[in-house]
A and B are shown apart, each in its own frame.
Chain A
Amino acid sequence: DAKTTQPPSMDCAEGRAANLPCNHSTISGNEYVYWYRQIHSQGPQYIIHGLKNNETNEMASLIITEDRKSSTLILPHATLRDTAVYYCIVRVDSGGSNYKLTFGKGTLLTVNP
């Protein structure tokens, strides 16, 4: 799986959009970008994933650059409960050992009142 690079920490004001960047310059054509988050003392929670097109669901939006070398997770209206470590992961769709999720150190997002 491609290596990802994320800032170690970010702050965001409550009610504002939180934009979390991720660099994955060595991503392959068949690798998806996944985002998980881990709220303190809980198990990771799936947020969103995408291949090349921008994606949106009820939790967040994922913007992937045209060259796919970086992406941004957007939480449109951050709340205090969004304070968590956010992990950006890239992995292949199927085949091989794509079931392995490789977590880096992620970005600690702190939402401030």
Chain B
Amino acid sequence: NAGVMQNPRHLVRRRGQEARLRCSPMKGHSHVYWYRQLPEEGLKFMVYLQKENIIDESGMPKERFSAEFPKEGPSILRIQQVVRGDSAAYFCASSPNRVLFSLYEQYFGPGTRLTVT
């Protein structure tokens, strides 16, 4: 999927544990987006980040979920005290600098499948 890397690909957590999902965008991309796909559902937008900034987190649940995209390193989606309802596929996408591209494509990673037992 065009160079966006996500790890781990599969993650199993027990209820109450923390889950950390990582996303490395394509080379040269400075925008990262996280989406969640519940079983048998379409992808839902969660959050949009640029380096060191959260631009839009309107799709994030109000509690337990957080995201960051530090100056160095991958973007992290963190879920604290996971519950069974958090079981889903989490996809990261990246795009190039928005200023230069009025229509920019989002390139998706392979996803992380989180299973909460």
Contacts and interface: CB of A to CB of B under 8 A. Distances in A.
A binds B: yes
Contacts, number: 57
Interface residues of A, number: 20
Contact of A93 (B4, B33, B102): B102
A100 B47 CA distance: 9
A43 B45 contact: no
Interface in A20-59: 32, 41-46, 49
B43 A97 contact: no
Nearest to B4: A43
Interface residues of B, number: 28
Interface of B: 1, 4, 31, 33, 35, 41-45, 48, 56, 58-59, 91, 93, 95, 98, 102-111
6 contacts: A43-B110, A97-B58, A99-B48, A99-B95, A99-B98, A101-B35
